[in-house]
Structure 1
């Protein structure tokens, strides 16, 4: 792995491309404290997880427009109520024209409700489990969501965490392009080696800059490629 570029250089490049520090600062994402994240209800978390699953590979606007119908069809995403759905009821929802016809993503709502209930049983609170996970091992939390949840691999799990305010970087196309070009990683991004190398780099930049992982991720994106944020 190559010597890491200083974050001050990454920051300067983003500022040059976007028009100065004030503009870059205005584009940085917010994160919540552990205390704030721990206040989420299971239903709120299941709703966000499910929306991110459906948005993956789909037009986000369509999912947003249909989400009130999902809230109604899945009992406001209360996990215990979702888990009471019979296979026939799940199939009916998967073929409902007012929703999105996708069997596997519909089943994922139920499977992720089960994940939440299991982690509650083991840890006492799914929200607190997420809130208290250390950000210097955020890719470890990605792996838990991927392994124990349904359809939460790739960027879906990280996008869920970002949506609820948990500090995490994202492996967007621009961030991946930067990490590859600067030889920060020497393996495929789905590998544990690449995730470990990426985590180490972001931990270094965080200690250097005092910024959150989410902010660092955004600054990298603003300084390279097509500026997808």
Structure 2
């Protein structure tokens, strides 16, 4: 997976987004675009945690089921989940049934609500935007962590969040536009409006 692949539509994409229609659409329309609302950011944070150890394609295919199971990732509702909800989620074959990740999502919803008195989840996460973004030419040039993702991870853990390691937080930062790791020859490079 060195660089970009020219698609039949004339657009250049990385290999991971060049074949599967679901991944291609996600790459073309969503990945790397700014997410600046609490519920949207809580959803992305939750799905990145569920993705840990799995492929993103698996999570993306299950996203409609995740949204249904977790009340569209409304942190107010998820924060109130109890043992009945945990049992329901563990029995839901449409999602990733991992008790630790389910518990982390509930914990993170509660931590998200607690942040409202101190600027909120969006301001906290976006405050870790670096002063410059990577300029990867090949897939091997794309970093998997950064000083900012490590610092974000540490701060979120201090605030009571779980499953927010530096690699997971770097993936979140890429997904929501905080950093632009589109390959420099990709048709999406610079499309977020965050980085020119």
Shared topology, TM-score over 0.5? yes
Q: Counterpart of 1:89?
A: 85
> Any unmatched runs of 5+ in structure 1?
1-16, 20-24, 168-211, 220-229
Over 4 Å off, 4+ runs: 29-32
RMSD after superposition? 2.8
Q: Counterpart of 1:131?
A: 126
Counting matched residue pairs gives 144
Alignment of 1:6-155 (within 5 A): 37=35, 40-123=36-119, 125-133=120-128, 135=130, 138=148, 139-147=150-158, 148-155=160-167
Question: Is it true that 1:160 corresponds to 2:172 in the alignment?
Answer: yes
Report the CA distance between 1:141 and its aligned residue.
Answer: 1.8
Report the CA distance between 1:53 and its aligned residue.
Answer: 0.9
How many Å separate the matches in 2 of 1:92 and 1:31?
32
How many Å separate the matches in 2 of 1:86 and 1:18?
46
State the TM-score, normalized to the length of structure 1.
Answer: 0.54
How many Å separate the matches in 2 of 1:129 and 1:140?
11
> Any unmatched runs of 5+ in structure 2?
5-11, 15-26, 132-146, 185-196
How many Å separate the matches in 1 of 2:153 and 2:41?
15
Report the CA distance between 1:144 and its aligned residue.
Answer: 1.3
Greater radius of gyration (CA): 1
State the TM-score, normalized to the length of structure 2.
Answer: 0.62
